[in-house]
């Protein structure tokens, strides 16, 4: 079977030959408008790449020409991802690691450098909802776990990637959420919301620190997305602390009850990583069909 990726690459090769025969002004005009295989030659790291938003993003980045390191806690998922990337004609590297573990993240980044010799793009995506419960019920250990995966995991991902991104410039996208940035009515989701709010502060701190090295970093804040995140969600007695609210037309003004697809998220992440976003850094962007404006 000739894959979509292969056909795209073939078309790209033909276009390259045609491109070389054009005049300089015509070439620069084409360069400006081209959206073809924009990530060729780049190496990307996507954490939490085995499911949902991370998976869709890893596949899209590979389709756009990047070599993709697909990192996930679950080895079966990293293996499945690299096989899928290869089936589509791309190049992937599976990395089983816990984003909250400094040693494992340092080693994972070292493996990317051993394998491909560079790192240009990072998607700090791995995250869990963790335990959502009234404040008296959340244990200190549960609080630590949510913060460790969502916030420390982002810190470790960016920390170990930074020396390599600085070499030739690069771009980072951090997965925050509407929770903790615009929505404060998911009572019980306190640890999650605090981690997601802190990820935006982290993004802004990093934007200034890394700007002189031509490394951009932005955060995106999704509303509901149809993924497997409920696997990593434990709700305990939240109904005791929640205000009962009903949205007759559904909580997402743009679609009613229909959540975003992981592919819609991947498109925004791709845009922010690409040169089309070359002047955007230190910004958070909501992608939620206006859910957060309604729910607040």
Instruction: List contacts with ligand NAD (CB under 6 A).
Output: 47-48, 50-54, 72-74, 77, 98-100, 125-128, 149, 153, 175, 177, 222, 224-225, 227-229, 231-232
Least distance in angstroms from the C-beta of 122 to ligand NAD = 14
CB-wise, 37 or 151, nearer to ligand NAD? 151
Least distance in angstroms from the C-beta of 103 to ligand NAD = 13
Yes or no: say if 217 and 210 are a contact pair by the CB < 8 Å rule. Answer: yes
Q: 182 burial class (0-12, 13-18, 19+ CB within 10 angstroms)?
A: middle
Q: 21 burial class (0-12, 13-18, 19+ CB within 10 angstroms)?
A: exposed
CB-wise, 232 or 274, nearer to ligand NAD? 232
Yes or no: say if 96 and 102 are a contact pair by the CB < 8 Å rule. Answer: no
**DSSP bridge pairs for 171:** 121, 216
Is 6 among the residues known to form the active site?
A: no
Question: Which of 5, 6, 160, 192 is flagged as catalytic?
Answer: 192
How far is Cα 138 from Cα 240, in angstroms, rounded to an integer?
A: 14
Least distance in angstroms from the C-beta of 270 to ligand NAD = 15
CB-wise, 49 or 171, nearer to ligand NAD? 49
CB-wise, 38 or 261, nearer to ligand NAD? 261
Least distance in angstroms from the C-beta of 294 to ligand NAD = 16
CB-wise, 239 or 263, nearer to ligand NAD? 263
> Among candidates 138, 117, 218, which has minimal Cα distance to 174?
218
Least distance in angstroms from the C-beta of 249 to ligand NAD = 19
How far is Cα 113 from Cα 101, in angstroms, rounded to an integer?
A: 19
How far is Cα 165 from Cα 160, in angstroms, rounded to an integer?
A: 10
Least distance in angstroms from the C-beta of 243 to ligand NAD = 21
Task: Give the distance from CA 12 to its chain's centroid.
Answer: 26
CB-wise, 8 or 111, nearer to ligand NAD? 111
How far is Cα 269 from Cα 164, in angstroms, rounded to an integer?
A: 20
130-132 vs 43-47, strand pairing mode: unpaired
CA angle, corner 152, sides to 285 and 123, nearest 5?
45
Task: Give the distance from CA 97 to its chain's centroid.
Answer: 16
Q: Annotated catalytic sites, by residue?
A: 192
């Amino acid at each position: 079977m000739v894959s979509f990726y292969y056909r795209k690459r073939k078309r790209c090769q033909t276009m390259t030959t045609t491109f070389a025969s054009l005049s300089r002004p015509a070439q620069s005009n084409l360069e400006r408008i081209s959206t073809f295989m924009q990530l060729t030659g780049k190496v990307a790291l996507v954490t939490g790449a085995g499911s949902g938003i991370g998976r869709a993003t890893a596949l899209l980045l590979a389709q756009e020409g990047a070599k993709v390191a697909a990192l996930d806690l679950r080895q079966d998922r990293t293996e499945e991802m690299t096989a899928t990337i290869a089936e589509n004609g791309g190049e992937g590297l599976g990395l089983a690691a816990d984003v909250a573990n400094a040693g494992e993240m340092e080693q994972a980044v070292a493996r990317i450098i051993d394998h491909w010799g560079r790192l240009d793009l990072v998607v700090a995506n791995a995250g869990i909802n963790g335990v959502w419960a009234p404040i008296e019920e959340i244990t200190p250990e549960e609080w630590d776990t949510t913060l460790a995966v969502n916030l420390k995991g982002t810190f470790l991902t960016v920390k170990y990637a930074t020396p390599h991104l600085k070499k030739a410039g690069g771009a980072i996208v951090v997965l925050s959420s509407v929770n903790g940035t615009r929505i404060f009515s998911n009572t019980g989701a306190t640890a999650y919301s605090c981690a997601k709010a802190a990820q935006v502060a982290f993004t802004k701190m990093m934007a200034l620190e890394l700007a002189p090295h031509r490394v951009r970093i932005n955060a995106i804040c999704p509303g509901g997305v149809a993924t497997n995140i409920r696997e990593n969600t434990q709700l305990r007695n939240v109904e005791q602390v929640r205000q009962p609210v009903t949205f007759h037309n559904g909580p997402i003004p743009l679609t009613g009850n229909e959540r975003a697809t992981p592919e819609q998220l991947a498109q925004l992440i791709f845009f922010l990583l690409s040169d089309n976003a070359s002047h955007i850094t230190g910004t958070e962007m909501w992608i939620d069909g206006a859910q957060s404006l309604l729910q607040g």
